[in-house]
Structure formats: structure tokens, C-alpha cells
Structure 1
Amino acid sequence: MTLLVLLIALLGLRGLGAVGVRRFATWPAAAAHALAIMLVMTASAHFAPAGVTVMPTHDDLVRMVPPAVPFPSGMVYLTGVLELLGALGLIIPWTRRATGYCLALLFVVLLPANIYATSAEVMLAGEPVSPLWQRIPEQVLYIAVAFWATRGASSLALRGAFHGIPNTESRR
């Protein structure tokens, strides 16, 4: 589901860019915003109460945390906050580059939880987690999109914020 959200958001936002919405005029900028949309969706699960049935809940995600990781509930909340901060950082041009790199690292750090969830046969919202042959390439794709989003973030955006220079993100 998250991959579908990312792809639909990417194509929709880039379509808006094609018809003149400057914020989405480049593929990397559209990718940054699409990834932000996906992160808001996934982060919401980190805070969802047990009664929710349409998406994974906080308790579901706690079961994904490998036993060696301390404070599993706190870690789920922490990663949810990091995902929300990542979403915010992606939509601000002068923070996008650093945010993209940090999110790529976060996606790498979270991969062991996905591997553990598969080996422990954890259920999310009553459904088995994605098999590793699907989940690992999907995680690699999220890492690639996080890096791709950094391509649209130039230091000119930062200089423009402080010196009145217009943001002229390169078209890539």
C-alpha cells in the first residue's frame, strides 16, 4: 500500500508540475513531496491505537521490533516522530538535501525490523507482513527515492531564503 501511495503521489504531483505548478516542476522535487506524503501515512501507524483496523497500529509495529532493541514502544514512537520530521524536511527546499540523506539512513536502520517481522511472522492489521523478496527491494526503492529527492535541493534554495535570491531548482 505504501508503495502505491508513493507512486500515485509522485505521478500526480509531477503532473501538476507539468501544467505549471512550479513546486513540482522537477521529478526530484515531486519525488520529495511524494515521499513526504507516504511518510505522513506510515508515521500515522506509529501512533494508531489498538482499535484501528484499517492500518497497522502502534502495537503491531512494536511486535516488529527485534528483541535486542531496547524500549520497543518508545522506539516505535521515535521512528514515527522521525518520519514526520522527515516529511516536513522534504517539503522545505533548503532542508531537503540533508533530510533526504537522513531518511536514506533511517530506511537502512529500519530494515532489520522488517527482516525480523518476516522471520517472526508478525501480523500487521491482521495480515502477514510482506515477504522479504518484496520488502527488501521496496526498502531499497525508498532509499533511492530519498537520494533522488536530494537532487532537486540546491544550496541556492538556502541562499535565496536568506538573501532574497529566487529558488531556481535545476530541472533533472
Structure 2
Amino acid sequence: MKPLFVLIGVFIISLFVTRYATGTYNFALSGSIAMAAMLVFTTIGHFAFPKGMALMVPNFVPFKTGMVYLTGLLELAFAIGLLLKDWRIDTAWALLVFLAIMLPANIKTALQHIDYQKGTFDGPGPKYLWFRIPLQLFFMAWVYFFCIAL
């Protein structure tokens, strides 16, 4: 839920800043800035909660903690790429693939009641999927609309 608030909040602020700075609203830039900010926010979780996030990684994936750090660095790279006009579209396509690949980790988290912040198995459980899957699809639609289509 917090990443959604970051995304929407930064988008609204960016819209007004770009309007003030350029005289017009720049939806593509504001959407890209907002997604970049959200990715930086989620990157922090990879480094603040590596133990719990390693529980989210599917069992067949080796070096789970290393993968948590690697995906955190990838999210940071995506954030930077979305802010570079010449890289925005390619970065957005790669981010769409990344978000699709990450969905099974979110499903595993719900099914196994993982609380990634505490590194325990007392999280919200499968009911979380009713929010998380549509949220992931919303993030993907956001990337496509603001970073590719506009």
C-alpha cells in the first residue's frame, strides 16, 4: 500500500512542479518520475528487510539473499533509466518484464503468510492477493501508459 501512496503522491507533486516550471502539465514525465520514486522506495525494502524478502524468493532460486540485493539494485537501475529520456522506453519494457517475473514472489508471500518486514510467517495470507495482484497489474499499466504510450 505504501508504494501506491508514494506513486500517486509523487505524481501529483510532479504534475504541479512541471506545470509551474514549463507552463504545461507533462504527464509522461510526471508518471515516469513517480514510478522512479516508487522504485527507489521499494529498493530501500530490499536492503532494510533482506531476511524477510529472501523468504519471498521461490524455493528453486539459489542464493536468495543475493537475489534480494540484486533485484533491489535492478529496481534502482530501472528508476534511473526511467528518468533518462533516451532510455525511458527500453527501461519501461524491461521493467514490465521484471514486474511480471516478480508476481510469483508476491503470490508465495501471500500463500505462506510471509511478513517480509519481520521475516516471519504471520503475514496477512491469501486475502492479500485480492489487493496485491490488481496492484501489480496497476503498476504494469502505469509503466506502459506513462513511460511507453505517452
Question: TM over 0.5, yes or no?
Answer: yes
- CA distance in 2 between counterparts of 1:91 and 1:151 reads 13
Equivalent in the alignment of 1:76: 68
- CA distance in 2 between counterparts of 1:19 and 1:128 reads 43
- CA distance in 2 between counterparts of 1:20 and 1:46 reads 34
1:20 aligns with 2:17: no
Deviation, structure 1 residue 147: 1.1
Q: Percent of counterpart pairs with the same letter? A: 32
Secondary structure of 1:43 counterpart: helix
Alignment RMSD (CA, Å)? 1.9
Equivalent in the alignment of 1:105: 97
Equivalent in the alignment of 2:50: 58
Contact conserved, 1:100 with 1:149, CA < 8 A, in 2? no
Matches of residues 15-164 of structure 1 in structure 2 within 5 Å? 15-21=16-22, 25-48=25-48, 57-126=49-118, 128=123, 131-151=128-148
- CA distance in 2 between counterparts of 1:110 and 1:144 reads 15
Return the structure number with greater helix share: 2
TM-score by length of 2: 0.88
Equivalent in the alignment of 1:165: none
Secondary structure of 2:87 counterpart: helix
Number of residues of Structure 1 aligned to a counterpart in Structure 2: 144
Note the residue ranges of structure 1 that are not aligned, 5 or more in a row. Answer: 49-56, 153-171
TM-score by length of 1: 0.77
Contact conserved, 2:51 with 2:116, CA < 8 A, in 1? no
Note the residue ranges of structure 2 that are not aligned, 5 or more in a row. Answer: none
- CA distance in 2 between counterparts of 1:21 and 1:85 reads 27
CA deviations 1:15-63 (Å, max 9, x no partner) are: 11222347x8421211101000010110111112xxxxxxxx1111111
